[in-house]
Amino acid sequence: MVRVVIVGGGIAGLAAARALGAASYGDRSLELNVTLREASDRLGGHLSTSAFAGRPAVDESADAFLARVPHATALAGVVGVDELVSPTGQHAAVWHGRLHDIPDGTVLGVPGKVAPLLRSSLLSWRAKARALTEPLRRRVDAGDSIGALVRGRFGAEVHDRLVDSLVGSIYAADTDRFSLAMVPQLEALARTNRSLLVGARAATGRRASGPLFLAPAGGMADLAEATAAAATALGVDVRPGAPVHELAIDANGWRVDGDVVDALILACPAAPARRLLGAVAPLADLLAGAEAADVAIVTIAVAAEAWPERLRGRSGYLVPKSVQRAVTAVSFASQKWEHLADGRSEVLRISIGRDGVPLGNRTDDALLQAAVTEVSAHIGVDLAPVHVRISRWPRSFPQYRPGHRRWLEGLDRAVSPGLTLAGASYHGIGVPACIESGERAAAATLDRLRALRQ
């Protein structure tokens, strides 16, 4: 019997567990004994859903996944999460003194259509004129920095109010210190086009029909729970509340809390992986260089009669760093998702936290006060929450610095045989990227085990 241990019960670890269980079930000659160990009592990692304000399921972190990246949609189908819903299609905005619609035809904020750009109230005429010269400019050596690329092509205002607002909110990042190579849509634009505007226009013209985002009707945690159930049904021993205390490697291979295993997948974030690998250099030394940002989601409900009609038709808004205090983005969740609208209250999910702004010293009361005060000022409504929930996600958003791929190459060289790394710290923070990472780790593990048997 070949023993495999997966450390970490987030969606990457669960995807790896299900894939290994399916391989073992389909090929009895493998004789795999797979155990997944998760330190906390809850599976799903950063996917968490709970009841709120009379709704049975409101997400506490990610509330959707990209539909056009196949891994999450495919996994949902395999594990029986059949009811997927999409956002209502209402418009997002950027707050800069007031709410401004995001111009149509952008790719992660990169302008792709001239007419909507010229009509936008978000940008000054000087910034628009600067942006229109972008196709005439020479290529920029951005050094793998999103900020350097966009500022060099379009100017500071487009970078601050559009690209950094969108990408910064998705990754809780400072795009000046974030790897272009780790944002595939932007990296592809920069690699294949001299002009980003021309490339973005072509990209928007190629967009497939159908929803951009999907989510389980019962919340994102349903995907994690269904994946755990599928792995268990395939013979995987899934153990929440079972932390790993010590990893070691010797001539016989990897040891997990003293027990020898044939293969090990670390699907936990880089920081706990580093602690577990404390004596294993140089891998542990490289992992020590991983950085991550704190994020909190303050979810509030306000009475429906207190919600102004002028805010109908909006899914939420972003706040550029140039005018940011604590709040980085706001989702009008009960307008964004039809199944969250009940006519009695409006639900807002307010994001706080970004690269370089730790939240550990801020109390829940301080986070709530900042959220309510700032959003009230942004939208011109004196918010009076009738329900409140605060969800903290410390060090939950990996910060992929320029040169991140070189760091990954160093990790690959330093990893000892039998060990595979998976999860958001390495190849992408989105749910599809984490699923792909876990399934790729499972495939690499299977390839190695099969090779050893030959």
Locate 345 and state its tokens.
């209250």
Residues 320 and 166: their CA atoms lie apart, in Å, by: 9
Q: Please compute, for residue 343, the number of CA atoms within 13 A of its CA located in the half-sphere on the CB side.
A: 0
pTM of the model: 0.96
Spatial separation of the C-alpha atoms in residues 91 and 104, rounded to whole Å: 10
Q: Is the predicted pLDDT of residue 166 greater than 80, yes or no?
A: yes
Q: Which residues neighbour 129 within 8 Å (Cβ) at sequence distance 6 or greater?
A: none
Q: In this model, does residue 175 exceed pLDDT 80?
A: yes
pLDDT at 280 over 90: no
For CATH 3.90.660.20, list the domain ranges present in the chain.
49-88+292-399
Confidence grade of residue 140 (pLDDT, cut at 50, 70, 90): confident
In the predicted model, what is the mean pLDDT of residues 258-270?
96
**Alpha helix positions (H), 234-363:** 270-276, 283-287, 333-336
Provide the pLDDT for residue 3. Answer: 95
pLDDT confidence bin for 35, thresholds 50/70/90: very high
pLDDT of the residue at 189: 94
Position 139 scores a pLDDT of 84
pLDDT band at residue 178 under the 50/70/90 scheme = very high
- Rounded Cα gap, residues 68 and 222, in angstroms: 20
Q: What angle do CA 301, 307, 312 make, to 5 degrees?
A: 110
Write the pLDDT tens digit of every residue in 355-406. 999 999 999 999 999 999 999 999 999 999 999 999 999 999 999 999 999 9
Residues spanned by CATH 3.50.50.60 within the chain? Answer: 2-42+220-290+401-453
CATH architecture assigned to 49-88+292-399:
Alpha-Beta Complex (3.90)
State phi, psi for 336 to the nearest 5 degrees: -75, -35
Q: What is the pLDDT of residues 301-314, one digit of tens each?
A: 999 999 999 999 99
> If you average pLDDT over residues 111-121, what whole number do you get?
96
Q: What pLDDT sits at residue 209? A: 76
Fold annotation for 102-205: protoporphyrinogen ix oxidase, domain 3 (1.10.3110)
CA distance 195 to 28: 54
Beta partners for residue 35, in sequence order: 5, 237
Asked if 256 and 276 touch (Cβ cutoff 8 Å), the reply is: no
What average pLDDT does the segment 407-426 reach? 95
What is the enclosing helix (H) or strand (E) of 229? helix 221-233
| Residue recorded with tokens 């910060």 | 399
- What is the predicted pLDDT for the residue at 67? 93
Q: What angle do CA 234, 72, 112 make, to 5 degrees?
A: 170
Rounded distance, CA 120 to CA 161, Å? 12
d(CA 429, CA 423): 8
Amino acid 97: pLDDT: 97
Q: What is the 3-state secondary structure (H, E, C) of 160-221?
A: HHHHHHHHHHHHCCCHHHCEHHHCHHHHHHHHHCCCHHHHHHHHHHCCCCCCCEEEECCCCH
E strand or H helix at 22, and its extent?
A: helix 11-26
The CATH superfamily assigned to 2-42+220-290+401-453 is FAD/NAD(P)-binding domain (3.50.50.60)
Mean pLDDT of 134-156: 93
* Out of 23-27, 234-238, 409-413, 432-436, least confident range: 23-27
Residue 112's contacts (CB-CB under 8 Å, 6 or more residues apart) are 105, 106, 197, 199, 200, 201, 202, 203, 204
